[in-house]
Every structure is written in structure tokens, then in C-alpha cells.
């Protein structure tokens, strides 16, 4: 009975110590607004030297990894969330929709009514939007008084 109690306390302590989650906390220095981005979420990062990287990130001590590239907190110029659904929508749906629209406008314009050739105009705009892949998430820029730091969240902090 005594070993069962000790074992349960050891397991409880191990669960509490390993359930801590690292994240990036972005703080606006003027308004004191805080935004927390948890580890393994998809982000877009632009460094001070202009290098753009996107993908899920893994945190280390004073840096994080996106793919195989290491980015230090001091080198971040802009940081923004990049959800997977928005990435898929902005690139795939817009491009394929524009190709279908262009194809139908050429087909219907050649066979039925020549004014449907005008559908090529919005189709080309959709192609441009798909290539540029717009992101509607907020962009946190260091020059606009955003500060970045790595924090550790415990399980009780996450649930609140």
C-alpha cells in the first residue's frame, strides 16, 4: 500500500514536470498586449536580413527551428501565425478556381457568347492572389514595438 502511494506521487510529479509547454510570447511595449503562440504551430517569419521562412516551429533556448533553419529571437523582424487551412485555401483553391474559370470562359466564349471572355479578368486576379498567398492573420513587427520572448506554460496556465 505504501509503495502504491509513493508510486502515484512520483507519477504525478513526472506528469506535472513534463506537461509544461514552450511558446513564444509577443508583447506590445506600448499597450502591454500579450499574444502567445504555442510550439509546433505554423508561423511565417521574416528575419532582419530579409530571409522569409514558414512552417511549424520547435523551440530551443534562445532560438527556434523552422524546418532545418535556426532563427534567433534577436533576428526576428516580423512574426505571424500561418494556419494550415488558410495556406491551403490561399494557394490551392484560388489557383485551381482561376484555372477552371479561365477554361470555362474561353470555352463558353468560343462556342456561345463572346462577352464571357471578360471572365478572364477576375480569373487573372485570382491567379495573382493565389501566387501572393494572402494571410489575414495579424503581423507582429519588431519596429512597431513588439517584443518576442520564449516562455514555458504549465498545464494550469494553459487551461485558464
Domains of the chain, by residue range, sit at 21-82+136-159, 86-132
Query: Does 99 score more than 80 pLDDT?
Result: yes
Please give the average per-residue pLDDT across 100-120, as a whole number.
89
Residue by residue, DSSP assigns 70-81 as: EEEGGGEEEEEE
pLDDT at 60 (0 to 100)? 84
H runs (alpha helix) in the chain: 2-18, 84-88, 94-111, 120-132, 155-159
119-140 pLDDT tens trace = 888 888 888 887 876 667 788 8
Amino acid at each position: 500500500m505504501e509503495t502504491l502511494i509513493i508510486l502515484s506521487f512520483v507519477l504525478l510529479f513526472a506528469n506535472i514536470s513534463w506537461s509544461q509547454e514552450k511558446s513564444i510570447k509577443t508583447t506590445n511595449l506600448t499597450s502591454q498586449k500579450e499574444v502567445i503562440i504555442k510550439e509546433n504551430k505554423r508561423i511565417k517569419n521574416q528575419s532582419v536580413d530579409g530571409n522569409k521562412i514558414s512552417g511549424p516551429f520547435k523551440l530551443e533556448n534562445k532560438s527556434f527551428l523552422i524546418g532545418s533553419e535556426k532563427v534567433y529571437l534577436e533576428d526576428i523582424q516580423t512574426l505571424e501565425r500561418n494556419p494550415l487551412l488558410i495556406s491551403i485555401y490561399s494557394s490551392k483553391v484560388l489557383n485551381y478556381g482561376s484555372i477552371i474559370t479561365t477554361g470555362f470562359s474561353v470555352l463558353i466564349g468560343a462556342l456561345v457568347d463572346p462577352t464571357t471572355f471578360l471572365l478572364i479578368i477576375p480569373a487573372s486576379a485570382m491567379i495573382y492572389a493565389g501566387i501572393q498567398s494572402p494571410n489575414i492573420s495579424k503581423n507582429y513587427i519588431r519596429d512597431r514595438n513588439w517584443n518576442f520572448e520564449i516562455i514555458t506554460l504549465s498545464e494550469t496556465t494553459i487551461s485558464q
